[in-house]
Structure 1
Amino acid sequence: MKYVIGVDLGTSAVKLLLVDELGSIQYEVSKSYPLIQEKNGYSEQNPEEWVKETLSGLKELVKQGPALDNEIEGISFSGQMHGLVLLDEKNNPLRHAILWNDTRTTAQCNEIYEKVGEQRLLGITKNPALEGFTLPKLLWVKQNEPHLFKQAKSFVLPKDYVRYRLTGELAMEYSDAAGTLLLDMNAGEWSRELCQILDIDASICPPLVASTDQTGTLLQEAADLSGLSPHTKVFAGGADNACGAVGSGILEDGKTLCSVGTSGVVLSYESSNHKDFGGRVHYFNHAAPEAYYTMGVTLAAGYSLNWFKDVFASNESFEQFAYGVENVPAGSNGLLFTPYVAGERTPHADAGIRGSFIGMDRMHSRIEFVHAVMEGITFSLNESIEIFRNNGKQIDTIISTGGGAKNEYWLQMQANVFNANIVKLSSEQGPGIGAAMLAAYGCGWFASLQSCAEAFIKVDRTFEPEKEKVEEYIQLFKIYQQVYTQTASLNEQLAHYRK
């Protein structure tokens, strides 16, 4: 039997999957590492923790899994997007990595708009300037830690650094490069224009490769520490959302993904980069060859539900916490929630907005609040779906993954709010299985990623929209859409009082 490994480098842990040539997961390992949050809005990690835990996970996978080291043919990666790993001339990190959920760079985003212009930026990168992207982080280091920036010879994203440490080859692939705000999406190369305008030496940008390209084999040291053969092929991999799309079969026009994790994502396949969404949704390179995807983001999707549970039911299981939620009617008996507890991304790129419960009544019980939170998260995701539909995309079937796919009532709610068939997969490993598929394709097991998806991905169940509830949710969604505009000014005033 032949095997590949998919490595998913997340924000809180690295997850590793050992996958055989039939697409079955034969062993999995998860290794956690800490966040460093020294100030409000700061979010960093030590890159050495990623390397240490990835090697530890690989060692356990080889030792405890069923595969012999010479049966494991390839490795590929999925990784958290937008993070900045700044490297010196010896490719050693100059500081802790600044992560995707770090929001310290509002001033730098404003600077980009002032110097480049919003429309010119969209014309080059297809994306707006947001705090989470890599370019504003580069500018922040340049302005606030100039002694470090002067030593910088390159930068990469998190999974690229781990891959470099395993192979000795430094590169960045397109799906992550598109999330830096420095890639010219039309030309498929780093934007020298942006670098010149913002006074960044273009040589700091690493070589670009495709997600399916082989980027070396294991260094002897990495092979010794992991137990793998030094002949193991290593492939570039992709951004977590791109790999999640591969692992969910979003590989042709008309395919759409909804993923509810800490954040929430609605992602739709694009065969070209020629559409114009006016920056209202993200537009990135796919991990699939010569393909793209558009994506809307809810910053605090599953996080909103976890926050509410931690505050009001920290000692309960999720099953206890959500018990009886299916008995609450659409609209939660007049209670509405907006999931802006950590700001919002789509369609309101606003780091300062905060969440609301609207319509609280003395007759409401906790379960109605739980139901309202689930509805609010789903409404926020529906904002992205509405943008796609208003721009001519047909969306009638959506693959649902993440925490939102673990509760069947929530899946039915998604079908009703989105007015689309919701598909639940038999094995939902998202980015990790997508990374494994990139390795399987790279090793030549399949002629295309589509044929790999046919072998690896199985449907468990489909949830169809219920006409009566669809009509109710159309009206409720109209009310939901009014809350942002009517609370934005209030939240701006309240920001002064937040500690």
Structure 2
Amino acid sequence: MEKYLMAVDAGTGSVRVILFNTQGHEICGSSSEWTHKEDERFPGSMDFNIHQNISIIIHLIKETINKSKVNPKDILAVSTTSMREAIVLYDENGKELWACANVDSRSTHEVYELHRIGDSIESDIYQVSGQTFSLGAIPRILWVRNHLPPIYEKIKYITMLNDWITYRLTNVISVEPSNGCTTGLFDIKKRIWDSDIARKVNLKHDIFPIVHESGTVIGSVTKEISELTGLNPATLVVAGGGDAQLGCIGAGVIHEGDAAVFGGSFWQYEYTANQVAMDKRCRVRINCHAVPNTWQYEAIAFFPGLVMRWFRDSFCELERHIQDETGESIYAQMDNRASSVPVGSYGLQCIFSDKMNYLSWKHAAPSFINFKLDPLKFNKVSFYRAIMENAAFITKGNIELVNEITKTSPKSVIFAGGASKSDLWCQIVSDVLNKPLTVPVVKESTALGAAICAGVGAKVFNDFDDAISKVVQFEKTYDPKKENNLVYENLYKKWKEIYKIQLDLADSGLTEHMWIAPGVKKGGSDQDDHYS
């Protein structure tokens, strides 16, 4: 009798529930796009709606079981993964008090307060945690203290979003290191909470639940969740991890020197290491991998997947009609047409995310530049291709940054996530990076990584190495084309200079930053380090 493993994958722009068999083949899945709204009273906020979103997850689990026609008793285990940085606060009874999604930036004043403690406090904490205040939990919890004191007084626990889903399935509150470390309240080398960091920033230092490594059994499905979803109460619930780290497991990226790019709502570059060497300039993140005694250098590009979704929803009405009539997806239609646009999109450049600068993280106003009023060349299709090329430029900048810190460079890169479904985008990334790009058979490697965690917990696999050897397979390798790389090298140099000018415009207040981390200066000398 075939057995199954379930993954719940809560990303920034959508949530998925996918059922795999124990050979790593996707059997059935359900998904739903979701949004995280800003509270108009608090600019920069990005609330996470606990009640609405758990209903979506419950519905997707039930839908997946029903569609698959699998006997729930044959689902051995379920594990969870999510966007990083999203936090949930609880009272002593386990009731959720407050939650926010990943790029919530309402806590600018709190970052200013933190810097008053000492000029070097952010870099000092980074040297222990691998995190800055840009996306970490410290300023956000301080914001709750300052603006919602009755809630702050009730806080007993903090978890990440994937841990919250695990809690809802089991009624057990816990945290795993790969996402927990993104709070900035972890000792990155020891992979545990560091209460001294909380004391240093004048936060409660007794709100930290137990830490279990990814792949650890947390409990079984509760009776309530069983009745709501159709899951068997005997199904194990296993600690999962952050989306990028589990994506690495699902793509087999777990050993020293392995590298991957995940093309989703955000694009993450991950470089694997067996030891931690901190960056003195605090430019990139250093996270716990979901594999014990392993770490990752990470550089993030903001919103490439969301930019593409925005473009689709804003400009592709005709393609949506064709999709409804023929079933051919909007992206497939646009990819087919964009493949005929010359490499470099006639020189058209677009500005969205910058390469990472963790200590002074900000992005210029979104823009398209260097196009002419020539509809034969500069039209919807060339703009679409330019978005693809832009994502590759940002990735190249991030890889160069990590190479500088680690004094190494990967020979090849694994490319996974939704963007890896596009042959055109894969070739563009390979050409820009000038490296072979290998794509796994399972594009949703994050969900597969969660299923592998579930299988490790359920003893289907001996460990992560055993699981990867049995279930991770690769579909295709894209080799860079020299003639294309020469074009992209020239455009990449121009992009860096254009971006510097566009960021100056945003810093001067003439345009509005696409995103700026809480407390980061809108102008000033921090730009100098950014482009050195």
TM-score between the two structures when normalised by the length of structure 1: 0.93
- Give the 3 Å change call, closer, same or farther, for CA 5–308 of structure 1 in structure 2: closer
Tell me, yes or no, if the aligned pair for 1:32 and 1:53 is still in contact at 8 Å: no
- Give the 3 Å change call, closer, same or farther, for CA 61–330 of structure 1 in structure 2: closer
Structure 1 position 277, deviation (Å):
6.5
Show the 5 A alignment for 1:345-424.
345-346=356-357, 349-351=360-362, 353-363=364-374, 364-366=377-379, 367-391=381-405, 392-424=407-439
- Provide, for residues 75-117 of structure 1, a one-character-per-residue CA deviation record: whole Å limited to 9, x for no partner: 111112111211112111123x211022212232333344252
Contiguous gaps of at least 5 residues in structure 1? none
- Give the 3 Å change call, closer, same or farther, for CA 323–89 of structure 1 in structure 2: same
Worse overlay, 137-146 or 40-49: 40-49
Aligned to 1:361, what secondary structure does the other structure show?
Answer: coil
Separation of aligned partners in 1, 2:113 and 2:278: 27
- Tell me the percent identity: 23
- Give the 3 Å change call, closer, same or farther, for CA 277–271 of structure 1 in structure 2: farther
Structure 1 position 28, deviation (Å):
1.3
- Give the 3 Å change call, closer, same or farther, for CA 416–114 of structure 1 in structure 2: farther
- Provide, for residues 325-380 of structure 1, a one-character-per-residue CA deviation record: whole Å limited to 9, x for no partner: 2233333222222223xx77457843452233332223441133222222111101
Query: Residue in 2 aligned with 1:22?
Result: 23
Aligned to 1:374, what secondary structure does the other structure show?
Answer: helix
Q: Is 2:107 the counterpart of 1:119?
A: no
Show the 5 A alignment for 1:231-380.
231-276=234-279, 278-316=281-319, 317-340=330-353, 345-346=356-357, 349-351=360-362, 353-363=364-374, 364-366=377-379, 367-380=381-394
- Provide, for residues 133-163 of structure 1, a one-character-per-residue CA deviation record: whole Å limited to 9, x for no partner: 2222111111111121112111211221221
RMSD in angstroms over aligned alpha carbons?
2.3
Letter in 1 for 2:409: Q
Letter in 2 for 1:27: C
Separation of aligned partners in 2, 1:399 and 1:407: 14
Tell me, yes or no, if the aligned pair for 1:16 and 1:29 is still in contact at 8 Å: yes
- Provide, for residues 404-436 of structure 1, a one-character-per-residue CA deviation record: whole Å limited to 9, x for no partner: 212212211111111110112222112111100
Q: Is 2:188 the counterpart of 1:177?
A: no
Separation of aligned partners in 2, 1:53 and 1:311: 25
Separation of aligned partners in 1, 2:65 and 2:388: 40
Separation of aligned partners in 1, 2:348 and 2:305: 19
Tell me, yes or no, if the aligned pair for 1:352 and 1:492 is still in contact at 8 Å: no
Letter in 1 for 2:371: M
Aligned to 1:470, what secondary structure does the other structure show?
Answer: helix
Separation of aligned partners in 1, 2:493 and 2:116: 34
Q: Is 2:67 the counterpart of 1:64?
A: yes
Show the 5 A alignment for 1:201-220.
201-220=204-223
Query: Residue in 2 aligned with 1:461?
Result: 476
Tell me, yes or no, if the aligned pair for 1:346 and 1:383 is still in contact at 8 Å: no
Aligned to 1:111, what secondary structure does the other structure show?
Answer: helix
Aligned to 1:150, what secondary structure does the other structure show?
Answer: helix
Structure 1 position 175, deviation (Å):
0.6
- Give the 3 Å change call, closer, same or farther, for CA 314–269 of structure 1 in structure 2: farther
- Give the 3 Å change call, closer, same or farther, for CA 333–34 of structure 1 in structure 2: closer
Aligned to 1:283, what secondary structure does the other structure show?
Answer: strand
- Give the 3 Å change call, closer, same or farther, for CA 101–498 of structure 1 in structure 2: closer
Q: How many residue pairs align between the two structures?
A: 495
Determine which of 122, 127, 132 is the counterpart of 1:128: 132
- Give the 3 Å change call, closer, same or farther, for CA 20–306 of structure 1 in structure 2: closer
Separation of aligned partners in 1, 2:307 and 2:65: 37
Query: Residue in 1 aligned with 2:150?
Result: 147
Query: Residue in 2 aligned with 1:162?
Result: 165
Contiguous gaps of at least 5 residues in structure 2? 320-329, 515-532
Separation of aligned partners in 2, 1:145 and 1:15: 32
- Provide, for residues 308-331 of structure 1, a one-character-per-residue CA deviation record: whole Å limited to 9, x for no partner: 343333442234444432233333
- Give the 3 Å change call, closer, same or farther, for CA 348–87 of structure 1 in structure 2: closer
Letter in 1 for 2:7: G
Tell me, yes or no, if the aligned pair for 1:338 and 1:377 is still in contact at 8 Å: no
Separation of aligned partners in 2, 1:271 and 1:232: 33
Show the 5 A alignment for 1:421-440.
421-440=436-455
Separation of aligned partners in 2, 1:347 and 1:143: 25
TM-score between the two structures when normalised by the length of structure 2: 0.87
